Amino acid sequence: MKLNQFQVLTFDCYGTLIDWETGLWNALQPLLSAGRLAITREEALVLFGELEHEQECLTPSLLYPSLLTVVHARLAERWGARVQDGLHERFGQSVLDWPAFPDSAEALAYLKRHYKLVILSNVDRTSFAHSNSKLGVSFDAVYTAEDIGSYKPDARNFTYLLEHVAADLNIQPTGILHTAQSLMHDHVPARNAGLACAWIDRRAGVQGGATVQPEIIPHVDFTFRSLAEMVERHRSEGTM
């Protein structure tokens, strides 16, 4: 299998293109400071990941900023920190400040010359629009949890993706390579939907962090430690 046999790259955004772990850790600092909490980055991210996934299952129609607000309140309760409600809402808006990975914009600019680029994200359209301004590329289609009414890894998100890529871009599943960091949110349901997968392993093989690990690790067709590494592989193949 080669990268150049595909026509569309469907991307997760947060964790893949946007450095959400750094963004989350930075946004948690007011809570940690207010509660005088001695909690490590890894401990905080792991608990966040568990509570976020649980909340997405409980309230699939809740817009992502509101969902983050709820998760922040749950973190404060779990850690025994009493803070004003405004701090929870501030965290809910923190997506706007999350940085892009250093290689994302340049890599996307290259890939745009060879593929249609599509976003399948667990956030809302407003939050993604702010992130998109940091990525510097115009995506050919953007599908969010706000559009779909559920969060990945719900199979409905990938059904929606396949139906809309076929209708909007006239590309069938065999022409799609799903490109993402999260095995649980993305690669498990993508494989179940019959898609080829490229894993952007931003944590370089180290488990943990803000992404819950699946019980069974799915097969992926490509593994790269960065988007820049994926670009180098494409360059080495040449173009069809």
In whole angstroms, give the CA distance from residue 115 to residue 218. 25
- Return the closest-CA partner of residue 182 out of 143, 221, 212, 159: 212
Catalytic residues: 12
In whole angstroms, give the CA distance from residue 89 to residue 201. 31
Given a contact cutoff of 8 angstroms between Cβ atoms, the answer to whether 34 and 81 are in contact is yes
Check residue 114 and report its DSSP letter.
T
In whole angstroms, give the CA distance from residue 24 to residue 29. 9
In degrees rounded to 5, what are phi and psi of residue 199?
-90, 120
In whole angstroms, give the CA distance from residue 200 to residue 227. 7
Check residue 174 and report its DSSP letter.
G
